[in-house]
Each structure stands twice: as structure tokens, then as C-alpha cells.
Amino acid sequence: MNQITILSLGAEPAEENLTLASVKVLKTAETIVLKTERCSISEWLKNEGLKYQSLDNLYETSQDFDELNQSVVDTLIQKAQSSSVCFCVLDANTDESVNLLIKTYKNIRVLPSVSQGSNYIARAGVSGQYIVSTASSLSVHEAQFPMCISEIDNPLLASDCKLKLLPYYGEDAKTVFFENENAETKIIKLIELDRQKFYSHSSFAVVFPHEILKKTRFDMEDLMQLMRILRSPEGCPWDRKQTHKSLRKFLVEEAYEAALAIDEEDDAHMQEELGDVLLQIALHSVVGEEYGTTSFSDIATDISKKMIERHPHIFAEKKEYLSAEEVKFSWEKAKQKKRGIELVSDAMKEVKRGMPPLLRAEKIQKLAASVGFDWDKPEEALQKVNEEAEEVQEELKNNRDPSEEIGDLLFSCVNVSRLCGLDAEKLLNMAAEKFIRRFVCMEKELNSVGKPLQSLTSQEMCVYWERSKAKAD
């Protein structure tokens, strides 16, 4: 197994950026392979009397970049069977074929080199942290740092990069574009990245994020930064005084409002309400940072670990193909195992009291049903509703506190709803909406005849109520 030495050519002209070690390797290599001949090193090699091979033909025969990179690796390994190989790329730090080669082949040497983008990055005025990627492997997840993109060698690739960047940086983000190493610095907007006259393997762009108050697009880290500003001594008095406990009610309210927007099938409203829920997560995260109790990273880590643990059929080395019901069963089993739950009653105790009561009642009933403790038909559960209603009536008749019996009555109603395959919370909300519609209708009719509602007797109210039912429904 002969050695493959990876050599970065750096910025053009290559001969001005080659290290002494690189020159020595090139002059003594048994086989020199250029990933592309379209660079100045080819002329330098010819002038030095050194023979080389190029892989430009693979660009033509490959369907996509993944296939290209695999073909490059396969070709290099084949050549290494008979001789040592010096493989020349523009920049080993960002070349995907190099990454794949290192994972595939063991006898690898990577020479230190001048980064291809160092000249461009300095000329663009980048300071502090930045991200570097080739155009073909660009992946964007946030816009906190300048994005430096190399090898933008055609308009289609430039367009692909632009579309990936736009949702994070915004179309008017300052972009410094270089056609090649000899071209002048050109400042454009991101939206113009694929509208330039010339592109080549040396084309390079640096996209700068806006200052936070000038952004038109935001990501999670932007939201966290805004929350830190609001919680700072110079921030908002209301935000500064909040604690986990004081924020609790808002988290519940926002979750309910998001659920309502989903029920309404209003995408714009749902987006707004889910944003309000996310705001609560961000606030709790920043409060946790300040007290050293948690952070957004901690929260994201916990839920990510849980997702991996609860989905062994997806993330384990050996995948399983499960139905949705089997996945649900597996999830519950994994959860119970982690919490040390052995009895059904233990699982019932784990159904938190902070959960909406109707939903909590339904979950507890489902746990009982999982071991066969359940009615067979909704009609049977309805009979229990009648029994509980009679017990409420008995308590009222004897002037006793009916609280416990009313609770039993409500619990029985949830049973009927569940056995009918219906959502008790949704049904109760529908009933509340229907009541409001009828009440509005009744008040409108009374206002039209000049009768205040509070002036009616109970019997008169019943008459108008029955009319409103017919009209509103």
C-alpha cells in the first residue's frame, strides 16, 4: 500500500504559494495527479520537466459531486497500488474528495500549505471568526459569521450557493466577489452572486452577515442574542425581572394558542404562535444561563440524546422497519425503562399534574386500557356517566359538597370521548365556541328590540336562547 501525499496548491499563481516541502515532494514524486489541470501549477510542472496526470475527465463523466468525489478516490487508490502518489488539490482543508480519501485510505500524508482563501479573505477585510466552504459542498445553518466560498466556477453553482444563503443572510447582504486572484475586489449584494460576467475555479466570495438590528432574516442564535440584550442591565425592565416560575403561565398560554392556530389551519397564524412558543424557550434558556442552571445548548443536547435513544430503529447500527404503532410502543417502553417504571400505576403517577386536566385524564385512562382495564364500548362508558350524574344529583339534593362527584362525572365523560376515538379537549372547545355563537345571536336579537339581557326572567331567557340555537346553528 503506497503512500498518497496530499498537496494544497493554494492561491494562484501556485508557484508563488508552494512551500519548500511541496516543491520537494513534486520533484521526487513517482506519480503526480492534479484534480484539475485548469490551474497554473500545470505550466510550472511542464517548465520543470515533470510529468503529471489530471482527473478533469471525471468531471465530465460524473452525474454529481458525490459521484465525482468517489471516482477521484477510486482512481487514486488504484494508482497507489503500483506507485506512491502526490495528489494536488486547490485546498485540502475544503476539498470533499480529500475528506473521503482520508476516511477510505490509511497511508495518507497531508502537507502543510498556504490556504487557497487566505489572500481573498484578507483582501475582503474579514476579521475574527469565519466559515470556509467550497461552492459544491456549501451547507448553511446560521448567519453569525462571514461565509467564505471558494471554487465558484460557473453561474449554476453560484445560483445554488445564493439560494442556500438567502434564507439566512438576506438578499442585500454585503458580498465581496473575486473573479480570480488577479481581479479587483468587487462589492455586490448577495442577490447578485449569480449575475457576474466571469466565473472560474479561482472565483471566490465572502458573504457578510448584517448587524442584528439591520437583519431581515434571523436564526435561533439571533433570537438568543436579542434575549441576552433584553435581559442585560441596559435591557427591558419587564424581561429582566422574569424567572422560570413567572414565565411558566406564558409558556402554557403560548402552547395553547399555537395549538389553536394549528386547528384553524391558518399557516401564517401558526407561524406567529410557534414563534411565541420559541420565544419562551429562548427566555428560559437565557435565564438559565444567568443562574448557571441550564442553557439552550443543554436543552438541545438533552432532547437530541432523547431522540437518539428513543429511535434505535433509525439510529442504531442495525436499522429496523417498524410501523407507527410499533414505534409508539417502543417509545413508551424506552421511557418507562429509563424512569424505572415497572407497574402501570407507576406510569400513571408519571403523567404530570401540570398537564391540561382533560388530556391528563385521557392519558391515565389509556394506561389502564393497555392492560385491559377498560370498557369494551362507548355505550358502556356512557352508562357510567349516567351513574355519576345521579351521584352528583344526590349530593346536591342533600346539600353536600359535590366536588368529588363532579370530578368523577367529568372523568367518565372523557372515557366516552376516548372510546369514540375523539379528543375531549377539542370537543369541549367546540362546545364553548358553539355556546359563544348562540349567546352572540341572542344578544343581537335582544339589542334589536331594545331589551337588556339582565332585565329578562329565566323563562324569557330560555325562549330567546332556544331561538338563538336555531339561528346560530
List, for residues 49-90, the tens digit of each pLDDT value.
999 999 999 988 888 888 999 999 999 999 999 999 999 998
For residues 207, 209, 215 and 219, what is the CA-based torsion angle, rounded to 10 degrees? 110
Alpha helices in 316-376 (DSSP H): 324-338, 344-349, 357-369
Query: Is 180:200 a contact under the CB 8 Å cutoff?
Result: yes
What lies within 8 Å, CB to CB, of 209 at 6+ separation is: 143, 144, 145, 146, 169, 173, 215
Residues of the chain short of pLDDT 70, as ranges, are 319-322, 326-342
Predicted pLDDT at 328: 66
Buried b (16+ CB within 10 A) or exposed e, 54-83: bbeebbeeeeebeebbbbbbebbbebbeee
**What is the rounded CA–CA span in Å between residue 169 and residue 416?**
52
SS3 109: strand
Supply the pLDDT for residue 332.
65
**pLDDT value at residue 275:** 95
Q: What cell numbers appear for 214 in the block?
A: 439591520
Residue 334 has a pLDDT of 66
311-334: buried (b, 16+ CB within 10 Å) or exposed (e) per residue?
A: beeeeeeeeeeeeeeeeeebeeee
Q: What is the pLDDT of residue 335?
A: 63
349 in Cβ contact with 336 (< 8 Å) = no
Joined together, the cell numbers standing for residue 328 give 409508539
pLDDT value of position 189: 96
* pTM reported for the whole predicted model: 0.61
